[in-house]
Structure 1
Amino acid sequence: MEISNAKQVINIDAQLMERINELLSHYPADKKKSALLPVLHEVQDAHDNWLSIELQDKVAEILEIKPIEVYEVVSFYTMYNQKPIGKYMFEFCRTSCCAIRGAENLMDYTCEKLGIKEGETTPDGMFTVVGVECLGACGYAPMMQLGDYYKENLTKEKVDQIIEDCRNGKVNLH
């Protein structure tokens, strides 16, 4: 499990707790753990898109489960971030179809252009680049996910434009 030394302000406010309770209402009262994945999404979204150990402990407390049960899920799924990430996270698919069509080279190109290595965040906190498993858009390879959106049939020129658009605030993440 990767552990970050970054400090995170934990803020489970009334609005977030209301949303968590709404999610819990979809499951039997004695099966709160069933809501773990959607609760983690909500909590991560409300905390700068990452989950510190302390925040994971708070989720365990809310769901009345052991902290290790939360750690296991957060460390298994790449959709949960265990350290601060950039405002724009480029998630390059690195599975067969995308790899054959050059996704690894495009990810390397992007990292070089931004001056970071895979898994790192730019010093200004704008960009993080990671490789992920199949995103299910094999017919549009190479591709990456940026926020809630897929960027497909990527080329170096398209990556350059995406970076420029992000820098100019022209990219909607949700």
Structure 2
Amino acid sequence: MLSRLASQRLIEVRQAFRLSAQHIDGPDNNPDLPWEFSEANKTKVKGILSHYPSNYKQSAVIPLLDLAQQQHGGWLPVSAMNAVAKVVGVAPIRVYEVATFYSMFNRSKVGKYHLLVCGTTPCMICGSREIEGALLKHLGVERN
């Protein structure tokens, strides 16, 4: 019974991940929108890149994505990810891979407060879905 529950939860997680990893262009999130670092952040970009040898600029992807997310109000549009790819000299897909792998990067708009509930298999077996449901019900919000 427990193994069946665990495998069912794992299937749910995989399906949710597949859906969350897809990007659909929208009016406020598409590659055609112009995006660049602000003048203040361009200085920070130079500082971040100075920590890495010139042939390892791609190692700065995570701090640059974090800076872009902070600049853009807590989420990363595709155009910002493309700007980061251009700065470090890699194909945009390499930056998308990083942004989709780490849960700290939000690829869609988030509210003023952002709550994360652990979605790993051990947490799900211990009831994280039920905790998430109780939070959603108590706050009167829907899952994003």
- Normalising by structure 2, what TM-score? 0.72
Measured at CA, do residues 116 and 34 of structure 1 come closer, stay the same or move farther in structure 2, by a change above 3 Å?
same
Which residue does the alignment assign to 1:163?
none
Alpha-carbon displacement from aligned partner over 1:5-41 (angstroms, at most 9, x marks no partner): 1516735111111111111111101211011111111
Percentage of matched positions with identical amino acids: 31
Q: Is the 8 A contact 2:77 2:107 kept in 1?
A: yes
- The unaligned stretches of length 5 or more in structure 2 are 1-21
Matched, 1:13 2:38: yes
How much has 1:114 moved relative to structure 2? 3.3
Q: Is the 8 A contact 2:36 2:83 kept in 1?
A: no
- Normalising by structure 1, what TM-score? 0.60
Which residue does the alignment assign to 1:103?
128
Secondary structure of 1:51's partner?
Answer: coil
Which residue does the alignment assign to 2:24?
3
Alpha-carbon displacement from aligned partner over 1:32-85 (angstroms, at most 9, x marks no partner): 101111111111111111111111111111111111111111122221111111
Determine which of 45, 58, 62 is the counterpart of 2:83: 58
Q: Is the 8 A contact 2:75 2:106 kept in 1?
A: yes
**What stretches of structure 1 move > 6 A for 4+ residues in a row?**
none
Alpha-carbon displacement from aligned partner over 1:112-165 (angstroms, at most 9, x marks no partner): 2333332x2xxxxxxxxxxxxxxxxxxxxxxxxxxxxxxxxxxxxxxxxxxxxx
Which residue does the alignment assign to 1:156?
none
Q: Which one has the bigger strand percentage?
A: 1
Determine which of 114, 118, 127 is the counterpart of 2:139: 114
Q: What amino acid sits opposite 2:35 in the alignment?
A: I
In structure 2, distance between residues paired with 1:111 and 1:4: 27
Which residue does the alignment assign to 1:74?
99
In structure 2, distance between residues paired with 1:106 and 1:4: 32
Q: What amino acid sits opposite 1:20 in the alignment?
A: V
Aligned pair count reads: 119
Task: Using CA pairs under 8 Å that are at least 6 residues apart, name the structure with larger relative contact order, 1 or 2.
Answer: 2
RMSD between superposed Cα atoms in Å = 2.1
Q: Is the 8 A contact 1:51 1:83 kept in 2?
A: yes
In structure 1, distance between residues paired with 2:86 and 2:35: 13
Q: Which one has the bigger helix percentage?
A: 2
In structure 2, distance between residues paired with 1:72 and 1:96: 22
Q: What amino acid sits opposite 1:63 in the alignment?
A: V
